[in-house]
């Protein structure tokens, strides 16, 4: 009988140690989720207050504008979930753990669905697609048109012209509206100092003079600028999904282990 009692005591102590290990592992994973939410909040705020011109691009495009607020909402949700998960793990509160599990499951499925949709609709991010849309919809000087305003902001911000090159404006809506201009004013070069722009003959640029216009396409300019951020964002997305998956597993194990 004594042997059975000692074995039972050892088993109970082992269960307590295992439960304690799961509790602290869950705390660590939820702290990482908390940090991930803080990062997303920081990115969203940075885009909204960025002084380099990206703010204007976002504001001119309703899709990007909505995306920024989605990032802010996701960051706030992860921030809150990380906090709830940490509290639920340390306090061993079953209600908090179940609430945390259900919310993070919904977020995990939403992120997974978004990744699948992004993969399915990836063809809409090709050079050919952007070139076709530019030729069909870009007007040049219509400040009330969202599409035109977005492209003007991109070309002014990244010192580029067209999707591939200024040739993209041939046989386009812009040329039909402005038959005497080869490229829009947004393609014209600007000096490195504010006063330098006065010495750049805009008429020469509008007539297509290569010396006074930007000749690099915006697709390459934007991809080069955001290439590092795209890879970092993709890697972070994989890391966040993995952390969320482990956090759900630990939450359920801890929930079932609490008496």
Same domain membership, residue 131 and residue 76:
no
Same domain membership, residue 206 and residue 162:
yes
Of 67-76, 136-145, 154-163, the least confident: 67-76
Same domain membership, residue 111 and residue 14:
yes
Domain finish residue from 115, 143, 176: 115
- Residue 222 belongs to a domain: no
Structurally, how many domains does the chain consist of?
2
Same domain membership, residue 132 and residue 106:
no
Same domain membership, residue 78 and residue 52:
yes
Report yes or no: 250 and 26 within 8 Å, Cβ to Cβ. Answer: yes
- Residue 159 belongs to a domain: yes
- Residue 206 belongs to a domain: yes
Same domain membership, residue 194 and residue 100:
no
- Residue 33 belongs to a domain: yes
The total of other beta-carbon atoms located within 10 Å of residue 69's CB is 11
List the structure tokens of 202. 């805009």
- Residue 242 belongs to a domain: no
Looking at the chain, how many residues does it have? 259
Residue 202, domain extent? 127-216
Residues 6 or more apart from 67 whose CB is under 8 A from it?
none
Same domain membership, residue 147 and residue 95:
no
Q: Give the pLDDT of residue 237.
A: 75
Identify the bridge partners of residue 222 per DSSP, sorted by sequence position: none
Same domain membership, residue 161 and residue 73:
no
Per-residue pLDDT tens digits for 81-122: 788 777 777 777 778 778 878 887 887 888 778 777 767 766
Tokens 């307590």 locate to 16
Identify the bridge partners of residue 188 per DSSP, sorted by sequence position: 213
Same domain membership, residue 107 and residue 135:
no
DSSP result, 197-225: GGGS-HHHHHTT-GGGB--S-HHHHHHHH
Q: Give the pLDDT of residue 52.
A: 56
List the structure tokens of 52. 């380099």
The total of other beta-carbon atoms located within 10 Å of residue 11's CB is 10
**C-alpha span between 115 and 105 (Å, rounded):** 15
Cα of 50 vs its chain's centroid, Å: 15
Same domain membership, residue 132 and residue 107:
no
Same domain membership, residue 147 and residue 54:
no
Q: Which residue has the higher pLDDT, 173 or 240?
A: 173
Phi, psi of 188 (to 5 degrees): -70, 145
Which of 216, 189, 214 shows the shortest CA–CA distance to 202? 189
Average pLDDT, the chain: 76
Same domain membership, residue 136 and residue 109:
no
Task: Tell me the average pLDDT across 231-251.
Answer: 76
For the chain, give the percent of residues with pLDDT over 90.
Answer: 6
Q: Give the pLDDT of residue 4.
A: 45
For the chain, give the percent of residues with pLDDT over 70.
Answer: 77
Kindly report the pTM of this predicted structure.
Answer: 0.52
Cα of 93 vs its chain's centroid, Å: 34
């Amino acid at each position: 009988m004594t042997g059975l009692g000692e074995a039972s005591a050892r088993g109970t102590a082992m269960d307590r140690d295992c439960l304690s290990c799961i509790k602290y592992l869950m705390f660590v994973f939820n702290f990482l989720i908390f940090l991930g939410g803080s990062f997303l909040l920081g990115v969203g705020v940075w885009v909204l207050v960025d002084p380099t011109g990206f703010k204007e691009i976002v504001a001119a495009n309703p899709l990007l504008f909505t995306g920024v607020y989605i990032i802010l909402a996701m960051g706030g949700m992860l921030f809150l979930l990380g906090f709830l998960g940490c509290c639920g793990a340390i306090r061993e509160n079953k209600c908090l753990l179940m609430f945390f599990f259900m919310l993070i499951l919904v977020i995990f499925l939403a992120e997974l669905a978004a990744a699948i949709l992004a993969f399915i609709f990836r063809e809409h991010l090709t050079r050919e697609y952007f070139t076709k849309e530019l030729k069909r919809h870009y007007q040049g000087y219509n400040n009330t048109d969202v599409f035109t305003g977005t492209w003007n902001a991109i070309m002014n911000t990244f010192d580029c012209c067209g999707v591939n090159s200024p040739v993209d404006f041939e046989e386009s809506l812009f040329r039909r509206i402005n038959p005497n201009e080869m490229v829009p004013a947004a393609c014209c070069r600007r000096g490195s100092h504010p006063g330098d722009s006065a010495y750049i003959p805009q008429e020469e640029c509008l007539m297509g003079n290569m010396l006074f216009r930007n000749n690099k396409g915006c697709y390459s300019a934007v991809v080069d600028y955001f290439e590092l951020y795209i890879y970092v964002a993709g890697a972070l997305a994989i890391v966040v999904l993995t952390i969320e998956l482990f956090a759900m597993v630990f939450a359920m194990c801890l929930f079932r282990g609490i008496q």
